[in-house]
Amino acid sequence: MFKSSSSIALITGATKGIGLETARQLAHEGVRVLITGRDGDRTARAARVLTDAGLESEPIMLDVTRQETIAAAADEIARRHGRLDILVNNAAIRVEAYGRSPSEQPLDQWRETFETNLFGVVAVTQAFLPLLHRSAAGRIVNVSSLLASLSTHTDTSSYAYSDKFKSLPAYSASKSALNAWTIHLAYELRDTPIKVNAVHPGYTKTDMNDGDGDQEVTAGAATSVRMALLDADGPTGAYIHMARTVPW
Position 3 confidence tier, pLDDT thresholds 50, 70, 90: very low
* CATH number assigned to the domain comprising residue 218: 3.40.50.720
Average pLDDT for 9-18: 97
**Is the Cα dihedral 85, 86, 91, 92 positive or negative?**
positive
The answer to whether residue 3 sits within a structural domain is: no
Share of the chain above pLDDT 70, in %: 98
Q: Bridge partners of 57?
A: 33
Between 55 and 211, name the one with better pLDDT.
Answer: 55
The answer to whether residue 93 sits within a structural domain is: yes
Average pLDDT for 70-80: 98
164, 100 Cβ separation under 8 angstroms: no
- The domain containing residue 63 runs over which residues? 8-245
Q: pLDDT digit string (tens) for 114-150?
A: 999 999 999 999 999 999 999 999 999 999 999 999 9
Residue 57 above 90 pLDDT? yes
Across the chain, what does the average pLDDT equal? 95
Q: How many domains does the chain have?
A: 1
In the chain, the amino acid numbered 99 is G
Angle at 188 between CA 186 and CA 194, to 5 degrees: 55
Share of the chain above pLDDT 90, in %: 91
Residue 213 above 80 pLDDT? no
Q: Is 239 among the catalytic positions?
A: no
The answer to whether residue 70 sits within a structural domain is: yes
The answer to whether residue 1 sits within a structural domain is: no
Position 36 confidence tier, pLDDT thresholds 50, 70, 90: very high
DSSP labels, 174-242:
HHHHHHHHHHHHHHHTTTSS-EEEEE---SB-SGGGTT--SB-HHHHTHHHHHHHT--TTS-SS-EEET
Average pLDDT for 167-184: 98
The answer to whether residue 33 sits within a structural domain is: yes
Q: How much is the pLDDT for 6? A: 82
Q: How much is the pLDDT for 102? A: 95
R_g of the chain, CA atoms, integer Å: 17
Of 98, 159, 171, 203, the catalytic one is 171
Average pLDDT for 234-238: 98
Residue 2 above 70 pLDDT? no
Confirm whether pTM is higher than 0.75: yes
Position 210 confidence tier, pLDDT thresholds 50, 70, 90: confident
Position 5 confidence tier, pLDDT thresholds 50, 70, 90: low
The answer to whether residue 154 sits within a structural domain is: yes
Residue 172 above 80 pLDDT? yes
